[in-house]
Chains A and B, each alone.
Chain A
Amino acid sequence: MALPLTYHWRNLFVRKTTTVLTVLVITSVVSVFAYMLGFSESLQHSLSVARDPHKLIVLKSGATAESNSAIPVDEYNKLSQVTNVARDEATGQVLVSPEMMVQVSLPRLRDGGRTNANVAVRGVTLDAFRIHPNIRPLGRIFSTAEREVIVGLAAAQQFAGLQIGDTINLGYGADRAYKVVGHFSADGGPMESEIWGYLPSLMNSYNRTMYSSANLRLADGSDARQIIGQIEGPAIQLAAQTEEEYWESQSRLMKVYLFVAYLLVAIMSLAAVFAIANTMFSVVAGRSRELAMLRTIGFSSAQILLGLVIEAVMLALVGGMLGCVACWAWLQAVGNTKDMFGATTFTTMAFKIQMTPLLIAKALGLVVVVGVIGALVPALRAARMQVVTALREP
């Protein structure tokens, strides 16, 4: 026979003040944890989209990002000799997308335009849509004859003036008006925070004569390392990396921040463990006669131990759920849109913090651990209690 769960649940209401205060401690810890986890998972999700194993980004060797890379056209042309990469079926030429990366400062919508973000502007040719298959235009794309751009969904949602029909000023002197004619999805990847326009038009507007990067796709079954070797070899002398490597290095700074944040959450969780332990010690002390009684009527010490741990976990779970609700409410109140600055791109990557069921499960997992650890020592003490002595207590 096990102790019924309602017995433990009701016990939480015996000492209301203590229960409420302990729950509040857990709530605070979990709300911070859920927020940090949400932040990191949304970032990871976005980066995981940019992990196409068949895509290579070619930069000028020495450049750390597209925004500080400059590839002269004659060096770019050498890429036509690369083998084992995807080719245009009609012409048999190497399929390669020359791209230019600049940025424009646009007001953030989430703070009413008080601050600006550096939004990436990418000049591309029509081949880009074959190299980046996860880019799906929603509606029409830019015309090659007019000053037109299309805007990633994340950028359109987070930065001002990017709705269809709006006009933005681009170019070196910010004096060329480009019309937003459509939006595009990139499955939530980093490119969804960008503005795309026709490469020759944008190069002209920005007085540029060089490309920033070139993108290639691997042929089926070919080895990325071998092709990177060709590109970095003496014949071409450019630098290439897989998309995954590129974005990993861009989010390096953010990972340091996240590491620190998790460390702080760990310290807070330890404080929560102490708070629960304190509460459970007092529970054990206050109910020693009752617990001894349970022993005399046949409950084993293991059952008592388990029962107290269950009680602590229930307490922690209530706090955990409230914490998730608090985090959700905070995101509703201040907005769940965030953006991250690439380590060396000088452009922002927009994403949204989502309270997914998995995230809630992880947060509740943490509180269960906190509850179990916090309850263990007091529960062991209760389980080892001398029944006769405890019964004799006043």
Chain B
Amino acid sequence: MKLALPLRLIYLYRNLTRNPLRSGLTSAAVALPIMIYVLSMAVVDGFENFLDNSARQLRLAVTQRTSIINPLPEGHRRKIEALDPEKTRLISVCGLRYIGGQRENDPMPLSTLAVDHDTFIASFPEHQLTDEEVDAWLRNKQAIMVGRGTAREMGWKVGDRITIFPSVPPYKLIEFQIVSTLENAQDFVTNWCRRDYLEEELKKYGAPSGNVTFFFVKCASREDLDHFRGAIDAQFAGSLDETRTLDEKTFMNEFVTQQFNLPRNLTILAALTVFVAVMAATNTMSMNFRDRTNEVATLKSLGFGSAFAFSLIQTESLLLCAVGGLVGASVPFVLFTYTPIRNITIPLIQTLEIAPSTCIKAVGMALLIGIVAALWPAWLAVRMKVVSALRSLE
């Protein structure tokens, strides 16, 4: 015997509203873990995107072989460039020196790098600078491009003169003029200033100069990336300043996992919360089934098949979890897309962007939870001996 679809839907609706408190609590118990799932996955995706973006840039990072804290001589740049004098495969080599720094009387640390100004533009095309910005950068030795997140936080704008106290030699206030707030850069935080200017300041105070923290080498293709990764290290093998060359993705990944393997820990957390949701939903479905054993038995005795009983319990569970999933996915989505919470900054990935695809995945996960949660009670309903179930009617 079959039940017409409209009747079936009405029956389903009545079942869900029969114990509204229980349905509500179950949906909430599914919604909360889904919320954590969405947040965790958004962070993990953010890291992956960050790394993938690094990989797309076809850049190599060249550091001193034993440790990144050991500087490399700036003269390495010419020797790396000499590996491809035509610049067809090795587009540009940019030396970077870490400055860090902070504003005067402000403990908040800044992320500032001094870079070779002539190759910086070609090495970081993803910054998508305007002609005016490039012009100002090349013309003005004191030029600094600031991350737009940092600019917002510090109240900086283009044209401002700012002073930064570096965390490395010469340890003297250095004055800069902002030429861009990097509106299109992936990186919200980092400030970039000219290395030739830093060198002048270093010489002025007699601090050691002529060193870089690492080089970024922009390659033309993936093959070139692989080729030069080996070629650069081979070039300096046996010298006083041997190098260690990694592609940018590996280089960044080392940084991420050095600090705290957040992506892995969040994945474990997300898996655990899904487990919590499965248990909570299974609990409800088994309570529902127990309360309605005789009802299911009656239905079966009227001629509705086991398949009907099975689908009845499954759809009810699916609906409960779908509601939980929708709420759980939409709350963080709305919070991080339309409210001030979206301005919270997270190291490296900067802002948490909750992609619609993550939400869809989460709702899919909620539906899966619904199916898994109802498996056991639905199976019990299929196997139920009608006669004995009816006999136990109170």
Identify the A interface with B (CB < 8 A).
15, 17-18, 21-22, 24-25, 28-29, 31-32, 60-64, 67-68, 70, 102-105, 115, 117-118, 171-174, 206, 249, 253-254, 256-257, 264, 267-268, 270-272, 274-275, 277-279, 281-282, 340-341, 343-344, 346, 348, 394
Decide if A275 touches B280 in the complex (CB within 8 Å): yes
Measured CB to CB, the closest approach of chain A to B323, in angstroms, equals: 14
Between-chain CB contacts (< 8 Å), 25 pairs: A18-B286, A22-B279, A28-B272, A31-B272, A60-B171, A62-B172, A64-B102, A70-B171, A103-B67, A104-B67, A105-B67, A173-B66, A206-B70, A254-B260, A257-B260, A271-B277, A278-B22, A278-B26, A278-B283, A278-B284, A278-B287, A279-B283, A281-B21, A340-B260, A341-B259
Q: Which residues of A are found within 8 Å of B67, using beta-carbon distances?
A: 102-105, 118
| Bound complex: CA A15 to CA B290 (Å) | 10
The listed residue with most A CB atoms (<10 A of its CB), out of B241, B262, B269, is B269
Decide if A274 touches B25 in the complex (CB within 8 Å): yes
Decide if B279 touches A267 in the complex (CB within 8 Å): no
Q: Which residues of A are found within 8 Å of B260, using beta-carbon distances?
A: 253-254, 257, 340-341
Decide if A274 touches B35 in the complex (CB within 8 Å): no
Decide if B66 touches A62 in the complex (CB within 8 Å): no
| Bound complex: CA A102 to CA B242 (Å) | 18
> Given A28-B279, A118-B258, does the pair A282, B22 have CB atoms closer than 8 Å?
yes
Q: Does B33 contact A (CB under 8 A)?
A: yes
Measured CB to CB, the closest approach of chain A to B35, in angstroms, equals: 6
Q: Which residues of A are found within 8 Å of B65, using beta-carbon distances?
A: 173-174
Q: Which residues of B are found within 8 Å of A279, using beta-carbon distances?
A: 283, 287
| Bound complex: CA A268 to CA B33 (Å) | 6
Q: Does B165 contact A (CB under 8 A)?
A: yes
| Bound complex: CA A70 to CA B21 (Å) | 65
Q: Which residues of A are found within 8 Å of B22, using beta-carbon distances?
A: 278, 281-282
Decide if B167 touches A63 in the complex (CB within 8 Å): yes
| Bound complex: CA A335 to CA B172 (Å) | 45
Contact string, B58-89, partner A, CB cutoff 8 A, digits 1/0? 00000001111110000000000000000000
> Given A67-B69, A105-B66, does the pair A275, B107 have CB atoms closer than 8 Å?
no
Decide if A268 touches B32 in the complex (CB within 8 Å): yes
| Bound complex: CA A340 to CA B265 (Å) | 14
> Given A270-B32, A275-B283, does the pair A64, B109 have CB atoms closer than 8 Å?
yes
Known: A25-B29, A64-B109, A278-B29. 12 other contacts (CB 8 A): A25-B276, A28-B276, A63-B171, A105-B66, A117-B258, A174-B66, A256-B347, A257-B260, A268-B33, A275-B279, A282-B287, A282-B291
Measured CB to CB, the closest approach of chain B to A63, in angstroms, equals: 6
Q: How many residues of B contact A (CB 8 A)?
A: 56
Total A-B pairs, Cβ < 8 A: 147
| Bound complex: CA A48 to CA B70 (Å) | 31
> Given A25-B276, A25-B280, A103-B69, does the pair A264, B269 have CB atoms closer than 8 Å?
yes
Closest 6 CB pairs of A and B: A271-B32, A174-B66, A21-B283, A274-B29, A62-B171, A278-B25
Q: Which residues of B are found within 8 Å of A62, using beta-carbon distances?
A: 101-102, 165-167, 171-172
Q: Does B267 contact A (CB under 8 A)?
A: no
| Bound complex: CA A256 to CA B262 (Å) | 12
Decide if A274 touches B32 in the complex (CB within 8 Å): yes
Decide if A24 touches B272 in the complex (CB within 8 Å): no
Q: Does B4 contact A (CB under 8 A)?
A: no
Decide if A68 touches B100 in the complex (CB within 8 Å): yes
Measured CB to CB, the closest approach of chain A to B262, in angstroms, equals: 7
A264 in complex: contacting residue of B39, B98, B259, CB < 8 Å: B39
Q: Which residues of B are found within 8 Å of A21, using beta-carbon distances?
A: 279-280, 282-283, 286
Decide if B35 touches A267 in the complex (CB within 8 Å): yes
> Given A17-B286, A32-B272, A275-B279, does the pair A68, B29 have CB atoms closer than 8 Å?
no
Measured CB to CB, the closest approach of chain B to A377, in angstroms, equals: 9
| Bound complex: CA A341 to CA B29 (Å) | 35
Q: Which residues of A are found within 8 Å of B241, using beta-carbon distances?
A: 173
| Bound complex: CA A199 to CA B11 (Å) | 81
| Bound complex: CA A301 to CA B269 (Å) | 41
Within 8 A of A (CB), among B268-326: 269, 272-273, 275-277, 279-280, 282-284, 286-287, 290-291
Residue of B nearest to A374 (CB): B25
Q: Which residues of A are found within 8 Å of B286, using beta-carbon distances?
A: 17-18, 21
Q: Which residues of A are found within 8 Å of B102, using beta-carbon distances?
A: 62, 64
Contact string, B228-271, partner A, CB cutoff 8 A, digits 1/0? 00000000000011100000000000000111101000000100
The listed residue with most A CB atoms (<10 A of its CB), out of B39, B260, B286, is B260
Q: Which residues of B are found within 8 Å of A249, using beta-carbon distances?
A: 107
A172 in complex: contacting residue of B66, B100, B109, B272, CB < 8 Å: B66
B276 in complex: contacting residue of A15, A17, A29, A68, CB < 8 Å: A29
> Given A32-B272, A63-B167, A344-B100, does the pair A257, B283 have CB atoms closer than 8 Å?
no
Q: Does B387 contact A (CB under 8 A)?
A: no
Decide if B25 touches A346 in the complex (CB within 8 Å): no
Residue of A nearest to B35 (CB): A267
Q: Which residues of A are found within 8 Å of B280, using beta-carbon distances?
A: 21, 25, 271, 274-275, 278
Contact string, B39-59, partner A, CB cutoff 8 A, digits 1/0? 110000000000000000000
> Given A62-B167, A272-B276, A278-B280, does the pair A267, B66 have CB atoms closer than 8 Å?
no
Within 8 A of A (CB), among B114-173: 165-169, 171-172
| Bound complex: CA A17 to CA B68 (Å) | 56
| Bound complex: CA A194 to CA B323 (Å) | 53
| Bound complex: CA A163 to CA B75 (Å) | 39
Residue of B nearest to A22 (CB): B283
Measured CB to CB, the closest approach of chain B to A272, in angstroms, equals: 7
| Bound complex: CA A240 to CA B44 (Å) | 39
Measured CB to CB, the closest approach of chain A to B112, in angstroms, equals: 12
| Bound complex: CA A174 to CA B66 (Å) | 6
Measured CB to CB, the closest approach of chain A to B44, in angstroms, equals: 13
Residue of A nearest to B71 (CB): A172
Q: Does B106 contact A (CB under 8 A)?
A: no
A271 in complex: contacting residue of B33, B240, B269, B394, CB < 8 Å: B33
Measured CB to CB, the closest approach of chain A to B23, in angstroms, equals: 10
Measured CB to CB, the closest approach of chain B to A20, in angstroms, equals: 9
Measured CB to CB, the closest approach of chain A to B266, in angstroms, equals: 9
Q: Which residues of B are found within 8 Å of A68, using beta-carbon distances?
A: 98, 100, 167-168
| Bound complex: CA A281 to CA B347 (Å) | 43
| Bound complex: CA A281 to CA B166 (Å) | 62
Q: Does B217 contact A (CB under 8 A)?
A: no
Residue of A nearest to B376 (CB): A17
| Bound complex: CA A104 to CA B277 (Å) | 45
Q: Which residues of A are found within 8 Å of B258, using beta-carbon distances?
A: 117-118, 341, 348
Q: Which residues of A are found within 8 Å of B94, using beta-carbon distances?
A: none
Residue of B nearest to A252 (CB): B109
Residue of B nearest to A102 (CB): B69
